[in-house]
Structure 1
Amino acid sequence: MAGTVSKGSFAAKWVLPFGGLTLLIVIWELTGVFEMFPDFILPPPTTIWSRGVETSNVLIRNTLPTLTSVAVGFIGASSLGLLTALGLTMSSRLREAVYPIIIAMNSLPRIAAAPLFIFYMGGEQVAHMAIAIWVAYFPMVVNSVDGLSQQDEDLNMLLESVDATRWQEMKYITFPNALPHIFDGLKLVATASVVGAIIGEFVAANQGLGFITLLALQSFDVPLVFSAVLIMAVVSVTLFFTIFIIQDKLIHWKSTSLIPE
């Protein structure tokens, strides 16, 4: 059937990325086996794993506040971004007035503006949550607006012929057609919310993975730095793949892939 993806093809799209990751880890480990780099430059995966296990209590304790900031950032950015996109799509005047401001704010350097959140909100976790929302908000808005702005002339004519309201058009045509773009935005939010939470912890914090990373760097504990960074990566990748799986199940009329066609 046209538009469908065979199980073999779908499996290949999963196997190949993970196969490439496995190959990278093997090559990385071999650099340690042959002592190509000292551990304070590039520790092998086994050394990173051993250091992570050794400091597991510290890492777990500091992962929880980071996860909280990421969760709030993801939910807040997703909901606010989608609501903003709906408002901009429903009102052309609002879009003309507000959308350029959103684009301009998106161009601001994240790490440079983050201290302002700390200044106005303090170095508490609420500031880290706000930074995570701010960093992840823009990709959600831009992708959602792009999806909601797409028009199908034939369907529009059909809706006009039955005197459909603007909300009916949004509910039955515009929003379903925009779902692929919205999910693309959610996948960007998944990674951006982690980045935002870590930026906040880099600027000012006394707990969290970003805080642990800075402390480890100051003491030249590179394996611990890699352990913390890998936990961040696992959080980001887990969020990404969760959204990818939901997208694949929900948008059954359009095939999804980890790798663009």
Structure 2
Amino acid sequence: MSDTTPSARPRTGLLLARRLALIALTVGAMLLTWQLLVTGLKIPPYLVPAPGPVARAFVANIGVIGTQTAFTLTAAALGLTVSTALATGIALAFSMSRNLAQASLPVVIAFRSTPVAAVAPLAMLFLGRGISTSMAVVTIVSFFPLLVNLMRGLAGTDRNASELMHVYGASRWQQMRYVRFPYALPFLFTGMRIAASSAILGAMLSEWITGSKGLGNLILDSGEMRETELLWAAVVTSITIALSVFWLTSAGEKRFVHWRA
């Protein structure tokens, strides 16, 4: 054990350093492309400012951006947690009963097809302008991708493993716990990667519509006040959050479903 542990640590550190270097190169390339496009196309600063003024606006308004970002992240995280719990419970119920799935899926699809712009004002009437409305919108936006991917995962369980559990006399819940749900975990993380990005956008959309505080409201107010640098600083912050959530869910998938390899 002592022979392998020291050699594993340098490999882990080297892998982390490579990933950080790749992220730094990607960010640098994006900033350089941004600067070249603004300069080459002679885009007016009141439409798209250069990276330098945006960075200065971010530093000057770091407190405001941090407060608004915390609100949006909280609403997105809570809404995503609720939608994950609902999608998991409903997907398990649908996989256990085909009749229930056939009867309920049209209702779920109709619910998903309802425009968020129409749902948000109704949610605001019942829940107010606070974080509850943003949570409701995030739940609606992120629920369907999670449900669809989970149902695909539960339906695609390895047949040999299922037959082995049947031979040993396992109950339906034991099969679900030890075989079907573990095999559905990669699909769950795939749905979470899609839903997490949608959750950020859903929270911001709710803030635009209801006027609640958050990154969405900050972008709207900055546009109305012609504070273009602050507006783009908030936009870059939202993009950074979405990319970070995507990378975190990918890392979580590697951590919890490494056995699939």
Using the size of structure 1 for normalisation, the TM-score is 0.86
Structure 2 residue 245 is matched with structure 1 residue 243: no
Name the structure with the higher helix share. 2
Structure 2 residue 203 is matched with structure 1 residue 207: no
SS at match of 2:259: coil
Aligned to 1:152: 158
Figure out how many residues of one structure are paired with residues of the other and give that number.
250
Structure 2 residue 95 is matched with structure 1 residue 96: no
Aligned to 2:234: 228
Aligned to 2:57: 51
Aligned to 1:180: 186
Name which structure has the greater RCO, CA cutoff 8 Å, separation 6+.
Answer: 1
Structure 2: distance between partners of 1:10 and 1:138: 34
Deviations 1:35-82 (A, max 9, x none): 721111211111111111112222122222212211211211111111
Structure 1 residues 148 and 14, CA gap change in structure 2 (3 angstroms): farther
Structure 1 residues 124 and 15, CA gap change in structure 2 (3 angstroms): same
Aligned positions of 1:115-194 closer than 5 A: 115-194=121-200
Structure 1: distance between partners of 2:27 and 2:189: 24
Aligned to 2:70: 64
SS at match of 2:42: coil
Structure 1 residues 169 and 129, CA gap change in structure 2 (3 angstroms): same
Cα pair 2:149 2:191 within 8 Å, conserved: yes
Moved more, 174-183 or 75-84: 75-84
Shift of residue 206 of structure 1? 4.1
Misfit runs of 4+, over 3 Å: 7-22, 31-35
Cα pair 1:74 1:189 within 8 Å, conserved: yes
Structure 1: distance between partners of 2:20 and 2:196: 19
Task: Give the share of equivalent positions with the same residue, in percent.
Answer: 28
Using the size of structure 2 for normalisation, the TM-score is 0.86
Moved more, 110-119 or 218-227: 110-119
Q: 1:25 aligns with which of 26, 31, 34?
A: 31
Moved more, 175-184 or 230-239: 230-239
